Amino acid sequence: MTRPFVFINIAMTVDGKIDSHARQGVAISSPTDKRRVDELRASADAVLVGGKTLNAEAPKLTVKSADLRANRLAAGQSENPIKIGIVSQATLLPDSDFLTAGPAQKLIFTTPKTDSGQLEVLQAGGAQVFIHNGPRVDLEQALETLKTLGVNRLMVEGGATLNFELIRLGLVDELTAYVAPLLFGGETAPTAIGGPGLVRSAAIGLELVAAQVLDSNGGLLLHYRFPKNINPPRRK
C-alpha cells in the first residue's frame, strides 16, 4: 500500500502511563518537551488522533508558535497541519476546539455509527467526512486516502488504542517518547500503547535511534524506529 510516513509521539511517566487513573488529561510534558512537540507538529502535513481522544478532549492540534506558523506559510504550506480524527462514533460539539481552532483543514474518518445530526455538526464545522462501512474505520484505507490528499508526513498523537492498532498493522515508521520522571501507578490508568496487547512471542522489537536527557529534572527523550520487515498479527 502507498501511505504517508507515520510517526507516533507520546508523553508518559516512567511506569508507562499517559494519564492518571482519574483520566482527566493531566500534564506530563515539560515546557521543553511542549516546545519540541510544537516543532514536530509544524514539521507534519497532518496530525491524527483516535476516537477517545477526539470525543473526550476535542484537541486543537494547531501549532502554538507564531514563528513556526510563519515558517510554514513562508514555505508555501498552510498555517497549521491538517487535523484528522478517526472515530467509530463521533460526538463532537459545534464549538469544540477541534472544529473551531485554526485556521486548519479538518478531516474525519468514521462509520455509520455516527448519526446524521452529528454529520451535520461536523460538516457545518468545516470538516470533510469519510464514512467507512463496518464497525470501525479501516486504517489502511484511511492512510491511503490521506496519501492521495497530499499527506506525506503524518504525526499521531494518540490515544493508546489507535497507537496499538497502527502498530499492529505495521503502519508506523517511528516513535518518539518523552519519559517524565513521574510515577502514577493505577491499574486503570491508560498506558501509551493500549488495545488487547500481544504475547511475548509476537512482541514488536524497536531500533533505538537516539536517547537524551531533555530536562534538568531528568526527563528523557527516546526515539525509536520500527523495523521494515515486521508482520504483526491481524485482528481476528
Asked if the model's pLDDT at residue 234 lies above 80, the reply is no
Q: 217: which 3 cell numbers? A: 529534572
Would residue 142 count as lying in a domain? Answer: yes
The arithmetic mean of pLDDT across residues 212-220, rounded, is 94
Question: For the ranges 15-24, 56-65, 150-159, 223-232, which has the lowest average pLDDT?
Answer: 223-232
pLDDT score at 41: 97
pTM: 0.93
Would residue 113 count as lying in a domain? Answer: yes
Asked if the model's pLDDT at residue 165 lies above 70, the reply is yes
Asked if the model's pLDDT at residue 154 lies above 70, the reply is yes
Would residue 203 count as lying in a domain? Answer: yes
226 in helix, strand or coil?
A: coil
pLDDT score at 230: 55
Residue in the block written with cell 502554538: 64
Q: What percent of the chain has pLDDT over 90?
A: 87
Would residue 122 count as lying in a domain? Answer: yes
pLDDT score at 236: 43
Measure the CA–CA gap between 184 and 15, rounded to whole angstroms.
Answer: 7
Asked if the model's pLDDT at residue 151 lies above 90, the reply is yes
Range of the domain at 128: 5-225
The arithmetic mean of pLDDT across residues 8-33, rounded, is 92
Write the DSSP symbol of residue 94. T
Supply the angle between the helices 31-43 and 66-74 in degrees, to the nearest 10: 20
Measure the CA–CA gap between 99 and 107, rounded to whole angstroms.
Answer: 10
Residue 63: how many other CB atoms lie within 10 Å:
25
Would residue 234 count as lying in a domain? Answer: no
Asked if the model's pLDDT at residue 150 lies above 70, the reply is yes
Asked if the model's pLDDT at residue 85 lies above 70, the reply is yes
191 in helix, strand or coil?
A: strand
pLDDT score at 229: 62
Q: CATH no. for residue 188?
A: 3.40.430.10
Segment 104-147, tens digit of pLDDT: 999 999 999 999 999 999 999 999 999 999 999 999 999 999 99
27 in helix, strand or coil?
A: coil
Would residue 235 count as lying in a domain? Answer: no
Cα of first residue to Cα of last residue in the chain, in angstroms, is 21
Please confirm whether the linkage preceding 159 is cis (ω < 30° from 0). yes
pLDDT score at 210: 97
Q: How many CA within 13 A on the CB side of residue 203?
A: 5
Segment 46-76, tens digit of pLDDT: 999 999 999 988 899 999 999 999 999 999 9
Would residue 231 count as lying in a domain? Answer: no
Residues 6+ apart with CB under 8 A from 224: 174, 175, 176, 177, 206, 207, 208, 209
Query: Based on the structure, what is the number of domains in the chain?
Result: 1
Question: For the ranges 176-180, 191-195, 207-211, which has the lowest average pLDDT?
Answer: 191-195
223 in helix, strand or coil?
A: strand
Measure the CA–CA gap between 111 and 142, rounded to whole angstroms.
Answer: 12
Structural contact between residues 171 and 2, judged by C-beta atoms closer than 8 angstroms: no
**E runs forming strands in the chain:** 5-13, 46-50, 82-86, 106-110, 127-131, 153-156, 174-180, 207-213, 220-225
Would residue 176 count as lying in a domain? Answer: yes
The arithmetic mean of pLDDT across residues 72-82, rounded, is 98
pLDDT score at 25: 80
Measure the CA–CA gap between 123 and 113, rounded to whole angstroms.
Answer: 16
